[in-house]
Amino acid sequence: MASDDPALDEPTPTRAAGEARLHDFAPRMGAQYAKRRNTDRGPGAHSDVSGLSPWLRRRLVLERDTVATALAAHGPEGSAKFIEEVIWRGYFKGWLERRPQIWARYRDGRDADLARLGTQPRLRRAVEAAESGHTGLDCFDAWARELVETGYLHNHARMWFASIWIFTLALPWRIGADFFLRHLLDGDPASNTLGWRWVAGLHTRGKPYAARAANIATFTQGRFTPRASELADDVRGLEAEEPEGLPPVGPLRSPVAPDPALPSALLITEEDCRVEDFDLAALDMRAAATLNASHLRSSRPVAAAVARFEEGALADAVVRARGPATPLQAGAPEDLAAWAGRAGARQIVTPYVPVGPLRDWLCAAEPALAARGIGLCEWRRGWDAFIWPHATAGFFKVRKQIPAILHDAGLS
């Protein structure tokens, strides 16, 4: 559940705002971060974490630049913990790319769990109480309200919240993950899905995460002091839900590279709002469009603040790409082919779209694209290419490769 903390005021969804936050936090990326990062100080007071996650999520700020800033300020040893947390994001994305079946399990299971809300009134009332912060457990209720009101939870609070949701309240974990994804400004399909699976004992099988009263009291500095009896004591993982175990590690999907000889249409999505980093001038660009797709996160309503951040990030991307763009909504997948066809494009070019709801939507659009002879081409960033091949098991395997990853990225 890798994340950072935005301020209580809604953050500005621009590259400039993200980079300003990056440089402001640079002095705290070293020993202070390593020592204090686990402390949840409450809404508006999360000063020990960077607050970069909404910008990193959309690559308004790049992971490589963030790591480079930490290294410049604190050196490889002093910034090691901060760098490790940044690389967790890439690890989760790469892990899900290697096992896309896990996303499908989550998506299909979530839909089945949500359908139960219509037929099981007791479950529906329990979920409503949890999501509105009316369970009677002070810490949990405060975190539920903070999430809805600010679009953020401290990473430690996300773990406690998920553990209480699953083991104390005995609610379906996928509905909890859906609640997060609908409200988090930094909501990311890989980090969110695998973070909840980790707490449930499904990611690292047999090792669920237990929320403990003493741990909550310590790392909220006494803001919350739950009684041990209020939290589940016998915490057992949910491995029985998946008797088939984890699917085997598969190959990474190889994106089709753009052909400079073909007329192209540029598609900008919230998966990567730094299109100016790619060689747009080398292509015969006939049109450009932004694709609003945050509503694809869930069949339930997605928070208005999430949609506003996406809309603002896409608008900022258009300004930096120095060209007009048609605003598209991810509705009927066939609409994508119709737009590109009207522009006379033979290929749509876009930064890589990883496993998640937008990838599902693009897959659904492929038959209509193929029928019009339009290809879908993607740019994959080097940062992902350096991390994802190692993301086949636990994070430890990736952590051992951090020196090589930094070398490959030109940072050592």
The answer to whether residues 26 and 143 belong to one domain is no
The answer to whether residues 82 and 203 belong to one domain is no
Q: Across the chain, what does the average pLDDT equal?
A: 96
pLDDT over threshold 80, residue 5: no
Q: Do 18 and 61 contact (CB within 8 A), yes or no?
A: yes
In a domain, 253, yes or no: no
Token look-up 């659009």 returns 365
In a domain, 5, yes or no: no
In a domain, 73, yes or no: yes
pLDDT over threshold 70, residue 286: yes
Confidence of residue 8 (pLDDT cuts 50, 70, 90): low
Q: Do 370 and 399 contact (CB within 8 A), yes or no?
A: no
How many CB atoms are located within 10 Å of the residue 44 CB? 13
Segment 304-315, tens digit of pLDDT = 999 999 999 999
- The pLDDT > 70 percentage for the chain reads 98
What average pLDDT does this structure show over 71-88?
98
Q: How many residues does the chain have?
A: 412
Q: Which domain holds residue 296?
A: 263-379
- Could you tell me whether strands 326-329 and 347-351 are parallel, antiparallel, or unpaired per DSSP bridges? unpaired
pLDDT over threshold 70, residue 4: no
Token look-up 């979920």 returns 127
In a domain, 249, yes or no: no
User: What is the per-residue pLDDT for 380?
Assistant: 98
The answer to whether residues 223 and 116 belong to one domain is yes
Domains identified in the chain, total number: 3
Q: Distance between CA 184 and CA 199 in Å, rounded?
A: 18
Query: Which of 336, 350, 353 has the alpha carbon at shortest distance from 253?
Result: 353
Query: Which of 248, 334, 330 has the alpha carbon at shortest distance from 289?
Result: 330
Task: Check which CATH number belongs to the domain holding 44 and give it.
Answer: 1.25.40
The answer to whether residues 319 and 392 belong to one domain is no
Q: Distance between CA 287 and CA 337 in Å, rounded?
A: 13
The answer to whether residues 88 and 63 belong to one domain is yes
The answer to whether residues 314 and 208 belong to one domain is no
The answer to whether residues 234 and 145 belong to one domain is yes
Confidence of residue 6 (pLDDT cuts 50, 70, 90): very low
In a domain, 2, yes or no: no
Q: Do 193 and 99 contact (CB within 8 A), yes or no?
A: no
Segment 159-210, tens digit of pLDDT = 999 999 999 999 999 999 999 999 999 999 999 999 999 999 999 998 999 9
The answer to whether residues 92 and 112 belong to one domain is no
The answer to whether residues 233 and 279 belong to one domain is no
The answer to whether residues 228 and 307 belong to one domain is no
In a domain, 404, yes or no: yes
The pTM for the full model equals 0.96
The answer to whether residues 291 and 367 belong to one domain is yes
What average pLDDT does this structure show over 16-30?
98
Task: Check which CATH number belongs to the domain holding 292 and give it.
Answer: 3.40.50.620
- What stretch of H or E contains 350? strand 347-351
User: What is the per-residue pLDDT for 9?
Assistant: 78
The answer to whether residues 190 and 276 belong to one domain is no
pLDDT over threshold 60, residue 245: yes
What average pLDDT does this structure show over 117-139?
98
271 token code pair: 């998966």
Backbone angles phi, psi at 30, to 5 degrees: -100, -125
